[in-house]
Amino acid sequence: MNYKEIKTDNIYLVTGTAGFIGYFLSKSILEHGGKVIGIDNLNDYYDVNLKYSRLNNLESFDKFSFIKFDISEKENLLQIFKEYKPDIVVNLAAQAGVRYSLQNPDAYIKSNILGFFNILEACRYHPVEHLIYASSSSVYGANKKVPFEETDFVDKPISLYAATKKSNELMAYTYSHLYNIPATGLRFFTVYGPWGRPDMAYFDFTNKYFKGEPIKIFNNGDFEHDLYRDFTYIDDIVEGIMKLLNCIPKEDENGVSHVVYNIGNNKPVKLMDFIHTLEICLSNSLGRKVVFEKVYEPIKLGDVPATYASTKLLEEAIAFKPKTSIEEGLQKFTDWYVNYYNIK
């Protein structure tokens, strides 16, 4: 893909740059000649060594600068905007995870609400060409209608995480209206791949296999009514964001330059099929047969039964079309995992 949209004289500020999506996006911008100011607080929600390894890969680029920093600190954030004068901001810093929001709600308010408010304030006082921010497919809650469309009713979130993401969309729209900040929200659908998040199921299952522990599957063993997820490979996600960087939203009927897109694979997969494919891919990477020991438990509080993205709007805007199959994507993950953790 030739990203003609990348302006090499632009400054791209990426928050959550040591995170999964933030790392790959920063790497892609840098590979296409852009300058990236990366921000991350390097928290210990999951293995910090993985975050440092991602950062280490980015620091080989001359046009990359990193600031260890928490976006909940408003005055310092305003100072960073004043000093670096970013043209485009991509806010991927957030406390992730639906289940963790049941145990540690304060972290979600601090990062996802207060932190995002500070980003909006910084864009207000130091105007940018475009703000792109992470929302989530979790805003759809337990919607029965599929595929999920951006026009669907999303006022009944079933986790605090989802509520914070819906709040982000409302806050961004308000700031776009009040202060003319062009903004695009992205509802991500189950992103996976190498260098991913260890709290995600595919990574967690692989970790448990090597620890000799059973994997917990929260579908009650009900294969007829299994959970569905719209698993989306990281390269497809990054390609979509890259095309959007300089795609400023058109004003709506109220003169507001704000839009929200689903960004998913548009092909939901049964959880059990996903697990079976992961076993096959890991077997290929190791050269021996892998079968997970499985324990079936009830669906977890806050989990949704299915996610399924309609990506029609994004296709119309940037010709977005994911092309990575589950088989190809998971094979790339298991090959990376075996190499990264030096497993024989």
Per-residue pLDDT tens digits for 171-221: 999 999 999 999 999 999 999 999 999 999 999 999 999 999 999 988 776
Q: Which two tokens stand for residue 238?
A: 């990054």
Instruction: Quickly state the pLDDT bin for 3 (edges 50, 70, 90).
Output: very low
Q: Is residue 299 part of a domain?
A: no
Which pLDDT band, with edges at 50, 70 and 90, does 336 fall under? Answer: very high
Question: Is 74 domain-assigned?
Answer: yes
Record the tokens describing residue 206, joined without a space.
Answer: 């692989």
pLDDT-derived band of residue 223, with 50, 70 and 90 as boundaries? low
pLDDT > 90? residue 225? no
Give the percent of the chain with pLDDT over 70: 94
Rounded mean pLDDT, 274-289: 97
**C-alpha to C-alpha distance for 102 and 80, rounded to whole angstroms:** 33
Whether residue 329 lies inside any domain: the answer is no
In a domain, residue 68? The reply is: yes
Amino acid at 103: Q
Count how many residues are written for the chain. Answer: 344
CATH of the domain at 51: 3.40.50.720
Residue 302: pLDDT band with limits 50, 70, 90: low
Give the chain's end-to-end CA distance (angstroms, integer): 35
Q: What's residue 158's pLDDT?
A: 86
More confident residue, 140 or 298: 140
Distance CA 289, CA 282 (A): 8
Residue 2 has pLDDT above 60, yes or no: no
The pTM assigned to this predicted structure is 0.95
Residue 143 has pLDDT above 90, yes or no: no
User: Which H or E run includes 337?
Assistant: helix 326-340
Mean pLDDT of 247-252: 95
| Domain assignment of residue 341, yes or no | no
Of the pLDDT bands very low, low, confident and very high (cuts 50, 70, 90), residue 224 is: low
Confidence category of residue 1, pLDDT binned at 50, 70, 90: very low
Nearest Cα to Cα of residue 197 among 248, 166, 151, 234: 234
340 assigned to some structural domain = no
In angstroms, the CA 67 to CA 36 distance is: 11
Q: What is residue 309's DSSP assignment?
A: B
Residue 91 lies in a domain: yes
Token digits of residue 170: 């409302």
> So which residues are the catalytic ones?
161
| CB contact at 8 A, 18 and 48 | no
Cα separation values, 312 from 151, 190, 316, Å: 12, 18, 6
Q: At residue 243, what is the residue type?
A: K
Name residue, tokens 């795609």: 247
User: What integer best gives the mean pLDDT of the chain?
Assistant: 93
Contact of 218 with 99, CB cutoff 8 Å? no
Contacts with 9 (C-beta within 8 Å, 6 or more apart), sequence order: none
**In-domain check, residue 337:** no
Structural domain of 144: 11-192+233-266+309-323
> In total, how many domains does the chain have?
1
Residues 6+ apart with CB under 8 A from 192: 200, 202, 231, 232, 233, 234, 329, 330, 333
pLDDT in tens, 35-63: 999 999 999 989 999 999 999 999 999 99
